[in-house]
Amino acid sequence: MKTKKLSIIRYIVLAISALLMNGYIYGWLFKPHLYTGNLKSIIVPVLNCYACPSAIASCPVGTIQHFMVIGFFPLFALGILIIIGALFGRLFCGWVCPFGLIQDLLNKIPTPKWRMPKWMRFGKYLFLVFTVFLVPYLISDTVFCKICPMGALEGGIPQMLLKPELHHLAGFLYWRKLVILAITIFLVIFIKRFFCRAICPVGAFFAIFNKISVLRMKVHMPKCVSCDICKKDCPVDINIYDDPNSPECIRCGLCTNSCPFGAVKFTTVFSSDKSDKKIDVKIDVKNEAKIES
C-alpha cells in the first residue's frame, strides 16, 4: 500500500513537472509557434525538446550541442548539470523527466517483459560523448537532436500537425525520427525505461555523480534478506542492495517503501551510519572440528 501511494505521488510530481516545462499553451493555439521569451534561457536538467510548441525552457542536450557546433565550450549548461548532479545524482530522472513518465506509463501495458542486457547500459555514455560533444564539434551539426525520439514526439509530430505548410519538408530526416520513435516506444513497452538506461545522454551525465552526490541511497544490510521485492518494483530493474548508489538508480524511492523490512532509505553523504556494509561471518572450520571431536 505504501509503495502504491508513493508511486501515485511520483506520477503526480512527474505530470506537474511536464506541465510546468511545457506550459506555453498559446504555442498550440491560433497561429502555432514556439515560445521565445526570457524563460527559454532556462535549462531544465531533463530531456525536454525546445521545439515543442508549449516548451518554455531549453533542453540541456540541445543547448550543449549548439555550443559545440559554434565552437564554444558550454560552461553555463555544464555548470548547471554538474551542480544538480553533485547534489541529487539521478533524482531528476525519477521525479521530473517527462520522457521518464511516458516510459513508465508505456511499460504498464500488460505484455511479457524483457530483461535488458547489462552491456547495453554503457550505450548512454557513448551517446553522451559522441552525439552530444565530439561529433557535433567535428561536423558542426546537432547530431543527437536529429535522432532524439523525444524531439520527434514533442517537436516534429506537433509541428507537422499544427503547420500544414511544413508538410512538404517532411523528408528523410523526419521519417527517420519517426521510425526511431516507434522503435523506442516498442522497446520501452517490453523493457523498463529502455531509453533512460541505454540511450539518454542526460541520464548518462547524472549517472556519473550517483556515487558522490550529496543525496544517497542506503541499505541497512542487517535488515536486508535479499528477497528481491525491491527489484520487482524498480523502474530500472536493479538490486538496490547490491549497489545502493548504482549509476543506474534513478532514485525514485519506490524501494524505500516496497521493502517489507524497512532496509532501504534516502540519506545524505554526511550520514555517519555504516549499516550499509555487508556482515561477513567467518567460521573456523578446524576449531569446530576439534570441538566436535
Q: What is the reported pLDDT for 291?
A: 34
Q: What is the reported pLDDT for 237?
A: 94
For the chain, the structural domain boundaries read 2-207, 215-268
Q: Which residue has the cell 550543449?
A: 64
Q: What are the two backbone dihedrals, phi and then psi, of residue 255, each rounded to the nearest 5 degrees?
A: -70, -25
The three cell numbers of residue 50 are: 525546445
Mean pLDDT over 156-180 rounds to: 80
Pick the closest to residue 72 from 121, 136, 18, 6 (CA basis): 136
Pick the closest to residue 237 from 116, 120, 119, 112 (CA basis): 116
Q: What is the reported pLDDT for 3?
A: 60
Summarised one tens digit per residue, pLDDT across range 202-212 is: 999 999 999 99
Pick the closest to residue 244 from 223, 260, 258, 265 (CA basis): 265
Per-residue pLDDT band for 162 (boundaries 50, 70, 90) equals confident
Per-residue pLDDT band for 171 (boundaries 50, 70, 90) equals confident
Stronger pLDDT, 212 or 160, i.e. the higher one: 212
According to CATH, the topology of domain 215-268 is: Alpha-Beta Plaits (3.30.70)
Summarised one tens digit per residue, pLDDT across range 265-275 is: 999 999 876 65
